[in-house]
Structure 1
Amino acid sequence: MTLHTTQPPILEAAGVDPSEALSILQQALVGADDGELFLERSESESLVFDDGRLKSAAYDASEGFGLRVVADETAGYAHANEISPAALRRAAESAALAKAGYAGQAAEGPRATNQKLYDAVDPLASPAFSDKIALLAEIDAWARARDPRVVQVSASIVGERRAIEILRADALTVRDIRPLVRLNVSVTVERDGRRESASSGAGGRTGFEAWITPDRWQAQVDEAIRQALVNLDAIDCPAGEMDVVLGAGWPGVLLHEAIGHGFEGDFHRKGSSVFNGMMGKRVAAPGVTVVDDGSIAHRRGSLSVDDEGTPTSRTVLIEDGIMVGLMHDRLSARKMGQRAGGNGRRQSFAHMPMPRMTNTFMEGGRDSRADMIASTKRGLYAANFGGGQVDITNGKFVFQCTEAYLIEDGRITAPVRGATLIGDGATALTNVTMIGDDFAFDPGVGVCGKAGQGVPVGIGQPSLKIGGLTVGGTTV
């Protein structure tokens, strides 16, 4: 199975005979349940334009491999940034120590696929370096001219091209080339000596020409300025329990963190998820359907195949409020008698794969956001979020709102600062009272961290009304 190959295979480019590498892998996997050789070559470029000048330009290139041997629930893993027969043999000897736990439950190989979710473009090659700098300078000048209150602008673009190659003991070879780009704009505005900042960004699995068009980067500038100006008028947020209306799109990060991790197969296999034992039971209000889907073309969290060679797919996690599915890598799928759905992901060749989200979202409903606001006597409209903290074992979360407004007598009134949302994912799901008809994905900026590994992800949801959330603020 070969996807998007426009350059020599990694093994051949490194001067390694593929048949020799296969022989080394096969020997390491004798008496093992599963495993693979994962090879990677990546290049990335980051340009930052700050305070009217090019502040930094960074380029990074790396290549290497990771060899994994899985026996029952034990995994041996060895990696190196030197791709050679000698390095492969040393890695095979180390990883093969895991075979002491062999259980005789050999895993079935991943199914073949021809799905192609993105093109094999190279964001580093085009446009030219000078054109990228000129673009950032244009963004800076345009933002400053947009509003006289703008006093500082920072703009950055990041491009990446990652080639991966997966070799299995049955000689199946999977190759993929993964582009990824992102634009980010931050602005600071000032009025009467008070300063506020905000940022906006977008990206996806494309080249720069397809993504950073004038209409798109101008929209990001306008959004950053709009949020910063809103914050200039913000008052201290009152604290207490109240109904909360969440905006569409990026506010789905609350869903991702507070709920999504609890549906990853390894936490269920280890019994550490708050949703353990709830399969087939109601875990959310009627109408709530949550999906993870890594097979959506060009989305930031999408992959034609995951980092174990399994094609990505649509996995329904919650259907009409009932828990119906989990996200699996090959290990958790095998141990739980399920099918791997393409959720085995790793940050790089130096990391083992584990169950991870791709694009996780709640499907839309039939309610309008206007009706949600009108039906709220006293509450908070949380339009945008920043960071947050979640305890996966109990689902408890704390999220900071970067843009929020009071709702009083069915109307949005003053913007507020210092608002946080406090609760737990399981309770929040059951307290969803209205589901919007305005579903949206985030603009393509998400990064998910787990066990020290970060991977790009997508997030989405419609507007939601949730009853009885605790709002942390600066006044009572």
Structure 2
Amino acid sequence: MSFSDSFFARRFNLTPRDLERWLGEALSRGGDFADLYFEYIESTSLSLDESIIKSATQGVTLGVGVRVLSGERTGYAYSGDLTPERILKAARTAACIAAGPASIVRSGLDEGEKLDLYSVPVPAAETSLADRVALILRADEAARSADAKVFQVQASFADNIKHILIASSDGSLVWDRQPMARLNVSVLAKGEDGRVENGYQGGGGRVGLDHFTSQNLPEKFAKEAVRQALVSLEAAEAPAGETTVVLGPGWPGILLHEAVGHGLEADFNRKKVSAFSDRIGQQVASPLCTVVDDGAMASRRGSLNVDDEGTPTRRNVLIENGVLRGYLHDRLSSKLLGSAATGNGRRESYQHIPMPRMTNTYMLAGESDPDEIIKSVPKGIYCATFGGGQVDITSGNFVFSATESYLIENGRLTRPVRGATLIGNGPEALKWVSMVGNDLKLDEGVGICGKEGQSVPVGVGIPTVKIDKMTVGGNA
């Protein structure tokens, strides 16, 4: 498809000559590099409570961000108005902020390479509203009929279709159409003693409506949310102290994302504020651990054909057999650190500057049978899923709350426990990994990552992992 057939050319009559003129203005006061990031998003959000559709919103956001790089200095300006005058003003503003040695805009723009990771003929955003409403009504009915203890159900469905266009002073020109959809179900259940517990399940990705209907996901998500709530009703208080911890496959990979992944983003390492700074080539984890960030996985929530700087995404091995191999880069960090761009320059919207961010981050499968991992633990705790957590990038220290966990006694899962909090240090915890399962699982597609006020969709994953020593905070 030629540029004249692209969304922004058709919708806003943009031409390559316009883009070159604005890039030239952005570098009119000097600088090493400039780019234009155009964005247009159509979004819908539906929510259900008490078996009634309580809210439904639809909207459009659009705008352009203009960036100029001059050494380590960044000039950035944006406009929510795509008239030529406003774009020109944004370019001049960014130029003034980042004024530096003069650079020249390459004459002519060439379409850059990009992948084809989400071929969705009909995105959810282009289906009927009634079909989307039907999904959350199905989830509500399935949850309420699953168990009499369920007394409240909330369900929501959100989708959007995002169009982006990135033009750079190095001559690259890239555009992309990015669908996204997500279904969420949460329930409250009350036990015979009056105690109330909640359960949650959701998922999605860069998929169409058929992803949810063909797999009966409304019913599956609803039943899983109910199961979690019922398990919590039976749970006792978690014991506190140092013990062996086994992480279940899938969503527990959020611990890897937070405790390790953020510390491998290149901006933190360029500033030498990460626990992993200046450690490339060193052993930072057990030899059983290989950690990958891969933005080029088909249909995944964290995947992109190109990142938000126009660089094609790819599979990046960060830790290989316990040895640190590299960091996640955007254009600025790759230039300043003399490394190749990894396709990890991401931003929340046209109003934000791109920075190094994760996409889909996971640990590769090992060779151990998950059942054998459990059998190897005389006493410990098994964490099936997590809620919130936080990490200090500089030290690597983290705190995570497990929302579903069980005691391991004499090599068997026994009683469910609640209130378990994992406390540790990211690099240190990985050194205590003694078994890695052969059951790698990726999350269902619910991840949202925050950094410096920006949120972006991500994916996580992990196989069953045994950590010989970790501190567990609890109430017992």
Same fold by TM-score greater than 0.5: yes
Query: Residue in 2 aligned with 1:296?
Result: 297
Residue identity over aligned pairs, in percent, reads 47
Distance change >3 Å, CA 106–CA 25, structure 1 → 2: closer
CA distance in 2, matches of 1:155, 1:413: 31
CA distance in 2, matches of 1:147, 1:356: 41
Question: Are 2:162 and 1:162 aligned?
Answer: yes
CA distance in 2, matches of 1:459, 1:105: 41
Residue 66 of structure 1: CA displacement? 0.2
Query: Residue in 2 aligned with 1:132?
Result: 132
CA distance in 1, matches of 2:375, 2:100: 60
SS in 2 for 1:58: strand
One-letter amino acid matched to 1:51: E
CA distance in 1, matches of 2:283, 2:417: 35
Identify the range of structure 1 (154-163 vs 96-105) with the bigger mean alpha-carbon deviation.
Answer: 96-105
Residue 90 of structure 1: CA displacement? 1.2
One-letter amino acid matched to 2:83: S
Distance change >3 Å, CA 265–CA 70, structure 1 → 2: same
CA distance in 2, matches of 1:150, 1:214: 24
Distance change >3 Å, CA 200–CA 26, structure 1 → 2: same
Question: Are 2:423 and 1:425 aligned?
Answer: no
Identify the range of structure 1 (405-414 vs 209-218) with the bigger mean alpha-carbon deviation.
Answer: 209-218
Query: Residue in 2 aligned with 1:42?
Result: 41
Distance change >3 Å, CA 212–CA 32, structure 1 → 2: farther
Q: Note the 1:112-191 alignment, pairs <5 A.
A: 112-119=112-119, 121=121, 123-191=123-191
SS in 1 for 2:221: helix
Is 1:123–1:179's contact at 8 Å kept on the other side of the alignment?
yes
Question: Are 2:207 and 1:209 aligned?
Answer: no
CA distance in 1, matches of 2:256, 2:455: 18
TM-score by length of structure 1 reads: 0.95
Query: Residue in 2 aligned with 1:468?
Result: 469
Identify the range of structure 1 (149-158 vs 74-83) with the bigger mean alpha-carbon deviation.
Answer: 149-158
Residue 100 of structure 1: CA displacement? 3.7
Is 1:71–1:103's contact at 8 Å kept on the other side of the alignment?
no
Residue 18 of structure 1: CA displacement? 3.9
Residue 13 of structure 1: CA displacement? 2.1
CA distance in 2, matches of 1:294, 1:226: 32
Is 2:187–2:200's contact at 8 Å kept on the other side of the alignment?
yes
SS in 2 for 1:250: coil
One-letter amino acid matched to 2:89: R
The answer for unaligned runs of 5 or more in structure 1 is: none
CA distance in 1, matches of 2:207, 2:171: 30
Is 1:44–1:124's contact at 8 Å kept on the other side of the alignment?
no
Q: Note the 1:303-322 alignment, pairs <5 A.
A: 303-322=304-323
CA distance in 2, matches of 1:395, 1:111: 41
Cα offsets for 1:53-95 (capped at 9, x unmatched): 0111111211000000000110000001001221122111111
Residue 114 of structure 1: CA displacement? 4.3
One-letter amino acid matched to 1:72: G
Query: Residue in 1 aligned with 2:343?
Result: 342
One-letter amino acid matched to 1:21: L
Query: Residue in 2 aligned with 1:391?
Result: 392
SS in 2 for 1:253: helix
Aligned residues: 472
The answer for unaligned runs of 5 or more in structure 2 is: none
One-letter amino acid matched to 1:399: F
CA distance in 1, matches of 2:319, 2:125: 42
Query: Residue in 1 aligned with 2:412?
Result: 411
Distance change >3 Å, CA 103–CA 319, structure 1 → 2: farther
Distance change >3 Å, CA 385–CA 129, structure 1 → 2: same
Residue 225 of structure 1: CA displacement? 1.1
Cα offsets for 1:126-185 (capped at 9, x unmatched): 431122223322221122112222211111111010000011124432000000000111
SS in 2 for 1:454: strand
CA-atom RMSD in angstroms: 2.1
SS in 2 for 1:259: helix
Residue 99 of structure 1: CA displacement? 3.8
Residue 330 of structure 1: CA displacement? 0.5
